[in-house]
């Protein structure tokens, strides 16, 4: 693999001149530039990004640590982040934490070691030590979807979706269909989305004159299995719920598994709704009512904020809103509410 000095030798100039051509510095005579470009083409030379990064102290790479790649929501997010970053000439290095704090820490550490220019995180737990260290060290950092609080983290912008309105719409929808005893499969209390969705659900219920009793709050971990376990517990109750709201799509899948395994039907025996909409929800039996996040916009906003930070501009938190997409899993009534 040819280096800059090979190009210089072949073009009969110094490495400094080659570098100037490569970074199109103005003061290079046209014929010299052409000679250099010809040498570059002849040799198939490509600048070594590693060397360049060492010298310039920037990698033009962003790190994205997500909680679970197998969750379509995060896959879509990752895709939109990559698209947005590519347009600004940045690469994205993804780390999958698999909802495990230790893995999350591993990825943050590796990314920092590789000196990525900025970090996009959707934290799994409350206070990963590496993340705190990174934030304190002044690494440009933005939280997406979920965030954490902590010393030194108050200046980290948060790009997220507010589900309150959509959850209120969902509760109204459930009430209108006659459901009164509704349960929630919550996400981990260590995550903001885990807590917020429960809180929003509870207050929406209260507004509709319903209460969320303790035995109808099940603790899940955003993965399918936990949805299944929690649902089993709900259905074993002497007085089981007539509607279940899963705080993410994977847990809804698990819930559906369990309901079906017991020979029960959705929505006749239990209604089901999920946070996070995905293409497959249209095709399940029955199609599942869900709260959709604007994933594309979320990813773009996160990248914009992060790159503002990276390039020394101030960045602000962004909150987008989710919307309810009603299908048949809570009872008859098709259509979507904006």
Partner DNA sequence: CCTCCTTGTGGAATCGATTACATGAGATTG
Partner DNA sequence: CAATCTCATGTAATCGATTCCACAAGGAGG
Binding interface with DNA (CB under 7 A): 1, 3-5, 12-17, 19-20, 22-23, 26-29, 31-33, 47-48, 51-52, 54-57
Min CB(8)–DNA separation in Å: 7
Min CB(49)–a second copy separation in Å: 4
* One of 54, 189, 199, 211 touching a second copy (CB under 8 A): 54
* One of 36, 65, 66, 78 touching a second copy (CB under 8 A): 78
Are 104 and 69 spatial neighbours (Cβ–Cβ below 8 Å)?
Answer: no
Beta strands 323-326 and 335-336 are antiparallel
Q: Which does 69 bind (CB under 5 to 8 A by kind): DNA, a second copy, none?
A: a second copy
Nearer CB in complex with DNA: 3/189: 3
Both tokens assigned to 170: 């969902």
Nearer CB in complex with DNA: 48/337: 48
Q: Which residues contact 16 (CB under 8 A, 6 or more apart)?
A: none
Nearer CB in complex with a second copy: 32/110: 110
The reply on whether position 336 binds a second copy by CB under 8 A is: no
* One of 3, 38, 41, 51 touching a second copy (CB under 8 A): 51
The reply on whether position 53 binds a second copy by CB under 8 A is: yes
Among the listed residues 46, 60, 41, 22, the one whose alpha carbon sits nearest the alpha carbon of residue 311: 60
The reply on whether position 100 binds a second copy by CB under 8 A is: no
The reply on whether position 88 binds a second copy by CB under 8 A is: no
Both tokens assigned to 218: 């099940």
Nearer CB in complex with a second copy: 83/215: 83
Are 175 and 211 spatial neighbours (Cβ–Cβ below 8 Å)?
Answer: no
The reply on whether position 69 binds a second copy by CB under 8 A is: yes
| Total number of residues shown for the chain | 338
Q: How far apart are CA 258 and CA 220, in angstroms?
A: 14
* One of 189, 237, 268, 280 touching a second copy (CB under 8 A): 280
Q: Which does 206 bind (CB under 5 to 8 A by kind): DNA, a second copy, none?
A: none
Min CB(168)–a second copy separation in Å: 27
Number of neighbours of residue 207 by Cβ within 10 angstroms: 11
Among the listed residues 239, 164, 248, 244, the one whose alpha carbon sits nearest the alpha carbon of residue 207: 164
DSSP 329: B
The reply on whether position 172 binds a second copy by CB under 8 A is: no
Q: Which does 215 bind (CB under 5 to 8 A by kind): a second copy, DNA, none?
A: none
The reply on whether position 50 binds a second copy by CB under 8 A is: yes
Among the listed residues 150, 218, 211, the one whose alpha carbon sits nearest the alpha carbon of residue 187: 218
Nearer CB in complex with DNA: 57/154: 57
Phi, psi at residue 292, to the nearest 5°?
Answer: -95, 135
* One of 21, 36, 62, 72 touching a second copy (CB under 8 A): 72
Q: How far apart are CA 333 and CA 315, in angstroms?
A: 42
Q: How far apart are CA 196 and CA 211, in angstroms?
A: 17
Footprint (CB under 8 A) of a second copy, residues 188-247: 224
**Largest pairwise CA distance in the chain:** 87
Question: Taking the mean position of all CA atoms in its chain, how far away is CA 129?
Answer: 20
Beta bridge partners of 245: 184, 273
Q: How far apart are CA 282 and CA 300, in angstroms?
A: 26
Chain residues that interact with a second copy, rule: CB under 8 A: 1, 44, 46-51, 53-54, 59, 61, 69-70, 72, 75-76, 78-79, 82, 86, 91, 93-94, 96, 106, 109-110, 112-115, 133, 137, 224, 253, 256-257, 279-280, 282-286
């Amino acid at each position: 693999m040819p280096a800059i000095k090979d190009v210089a030798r072949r073009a009969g100039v110094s490495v400094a001149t080659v570098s100037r051509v490569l970074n199109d510095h103005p003061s290079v005579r046209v014929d010299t530039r052409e000679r250099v470009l010809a040498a570059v083409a002849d040799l198939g030379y490509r600048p070594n990004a590693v060397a360049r990064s060492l010298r310039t102290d920037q990698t033009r790479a962003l790190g994205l640590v997500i909680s679970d790649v197998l969750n379509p929501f995060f896959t879509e997010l990752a895709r939109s982040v990559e698209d947005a970053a590519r347009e600004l000439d940045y690469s994205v290095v993804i780390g999958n934490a698999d909802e495990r704090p230790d893995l999350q820490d591993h990825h943050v550490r590796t990314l920092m070691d590789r000196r990525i220019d900025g970090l996009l995180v959707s934290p799994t737990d409350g206070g990963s030590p590496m993340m705190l260290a990174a934030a304190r060290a002044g690494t440009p950092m933005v939280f997406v979807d979920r965030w954490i609080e902590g010393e030194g983290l108050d200046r980290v912008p948060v790009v997220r979706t507010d589900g309150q309105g959509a959850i209120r719409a969902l509760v109204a929808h459930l009430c209108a269909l006659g459901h009164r005893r509704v349960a929630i499969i919550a996400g981990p209390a260590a995550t903001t989305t885990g807590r917020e969705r429960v809180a929003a659900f509870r207050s929406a219920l209260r507004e509709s004159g319903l209460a969320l009793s303790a035995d109808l709050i099940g603790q899940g971990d955003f993965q399918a299995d936990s949805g299944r376990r929690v649902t089993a517990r709900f259905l074993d109750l002497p007085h089981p719920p007539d509607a279940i709201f899963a705080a993410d799509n994977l847990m809804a899948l698990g819930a559906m598994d369990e309901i079906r395994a017991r020979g029960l039907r959705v929505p006749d025996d239990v209604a089901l709704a999920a946070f996070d909409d995905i293409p497959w929800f249209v095709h399940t039996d029955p199609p599942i009512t869900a709260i959709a996040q604007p994933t594309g916009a979320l990813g773009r906003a996160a990248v914009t904020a992060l790159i503002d930070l990276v390039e020394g501009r101030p960045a602000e938190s962004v909150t987008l809103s989710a919307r309810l997409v009603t299908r048949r899993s809570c009872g008859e009534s098709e259509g979507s509410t904006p």
